[in-house]
Amino acid sequence: MVLEQYFKDYLTAFAKDDKPLWNYEAGVTLLGAQWLYEVTEDPFYKDRIVEFMDHHIMEDGTIRYLDTNELNLDKINSGKILFFLYEQTGQERYKKALDTLIDMLHRHPRTSTGNFWHKTIYPYQIWLDGLYMALPLYMEYETKYNGNENYNDIYSQMKNVRRLLYSEKDHLYYHAYDEKKVMIWADKETGLSHNFWLRSIGWHLMALIDLYELSSEEVFEQHKQYAVWFKEALKGVLKYQDAESGLFWQLIALPEVEGNYLETSGSAMIAYSILKGCRLKVLQAEKYQAVGERILKALHDQKMVCIDGIWHLKDICEVAGLGPKDERDGSVEYYLSEPIVMDEVKGVGAFMMAYAEHLKLKALNEKGALQ
């Protein structure tokens, strides 16, 4: 298949990349590779994960290129693959690296509500992006290694996000919130950013469905509430799905704005979240599986392009953020000014994750396990 070969070619180059950087982008692709390995049992995927991480995790558990004094939620996400590596190999260096990241979270500064700042350079700010970067890893660590001791902390942070960042009018979550209400992008009365950015909405949906999966059913009320928030958020998002293409706009609520475009990474994150929700039976598969499959097919049919015999994934927003000073003001013009690129790691990784969920659902359907 074209898609699976594209993923393999991409991972072959990705695994050899030894940039002096430890950041969140790689974590998306690493998880995509993990889940493709789990569903296909093809050792290629596991081998590429090990090859990449051997550049970054030293024998003593030190994470190469990580400054542990730089308290930044973006530095947490790539650690999610360490659970898989530790369980697969038993090598203590992976557990030590996880312990390092958890220690960083315990030292991370917080808002008055107890939520993690997005980064120290973004003080008193909650971003949807950061929820995905940090909280699923925090949850998995608590469930597997710490007896659920800090479940209330995670739950409280997500509860505050629902209270502070959700628009009852639009049924969407804003990209970010500034507790001090002083940033150029923040509303001076609410502290909220002014627009609904697709990928941030994708980060949030993925955080919710992952937290549901990773939390213990024994803590029933919290476990159940993640599903409630997820279904509410997804219902709002699907109101903005483009009827013709099946995809979602970079500025999800403003399809008519000149320069807006159907963006790949956020659409893939929504597909992943829906298909995973079906697999976990948070969503009714008979109602929602076709919705997720339509998005996945649309990405394949509309965003995969062959140029000079080589396949590419197009229309990925390279990056978007807010501040930290007077730049990146959160305006419509800003979000539509960021480069639109091909084969960017967040877009490819999210597409891999969605495709892996498609394969997992297919396997369950063949076993009759969804009935």
Pairing of strands 316-317, 176-178: unpaired
pLDDT of residue 303: 98
| Continuous H helices in the chain | 2-16, 24-40, 43-54, 81-89, 92-106, 128-145, 151-165, 198-214, 220-238, 264-279, 285-298, 332-335, 345-367
Long-range contacts made by residues 96-99, C-beta under 8 angstroms, separation at least 24? 96/60, 96/61, 97/57, 97/61, 97/62, 97/63, 98/137, 98/141, 98/145, 99/61
**Phi (first) and psi of residue 127, to 5 degrees:** -115, 145
Buried b (16+ CB within 10 A) or exposed e, 226-262: bbebbbebbebbeebbeeebbbbbbbbbbeeeeebeb
pLDDT of residue 369: 60
Amino acid at 119: K
Whether residue 371 has pLDDT greater than 60? no
Q: How large is the angle between the packed helices 92-106 and 81-89, nearest 10 degrees?
A: 150
pLDDT confidence tier of residue 240, bands split at 50, 70 and 90: very high
Whether residue 35 has pLDDT greater than 80? yes
Q: Any catalytic annotation for residue 129?
A: yes
What is the distance between the alpha carbons of residues 134 and 71, in angstroms, rounded to a whole number? 11
Give mean pLDDT, residues 141-154.
98
- Contact between residue 72 and residue 23 where contact means Cβ atoms under 8 Å apart: no
pTM: 0.98
pLDDT > 90 fraction of the chain, expressed in percent and rounded: 96
Question: Where do the domains of the chain lie?
Answer: 2-366
Residue 299 CB coordination number (10 Å): 27
What is the distance between the alpha carbons of residues 339 and 320, in angstroms, rounded to a whole number? 9
| Residue-wise pLDDT tens digits, 326-367 | 889 999 999 999 999 999 999 999 999 999 999 999 999 887
Q: Which two tokens stand for residue 245?
A: 């293409």
State the average pLDDT for the chain: 97
Residues contacting residue 334 through CB under 8 Å, at least 6 positions apart: 320, 328
What is the distance between the alpha carbons of residues 93 and 304, in angstroms, rounded to a whole number? 38
| Residue-wise pLDDT tens digits, 71-107 | 999 999 999 999 999 999 999 999 999 999 999 999 9
Hey, is 313 helix, strand or coil?
strand
Residues contacting residue 160 through CB under 8 Å, at least 6 positions apart: 113, 114, 115, 126
Residues facing residue 166 across a β-bridge: 173
| Residue-wise pLDDT tens digits, 166-179 | 999 999 999 999 99
Catalytically annotated residue among 74, 99, 129, 315: 129
- Contact between residue 110 and residue 125 where contact means Cβ atoms under 8 Å apart: no
Angle, alpha carbons 261-273-207 (nearest 5°)? 100
pLDDT confidence tier of residue 219, bands split at 50, 70 and 90: very high
Fold for the domain defined by 2-366: Glycosyltransferase (1.50.10)
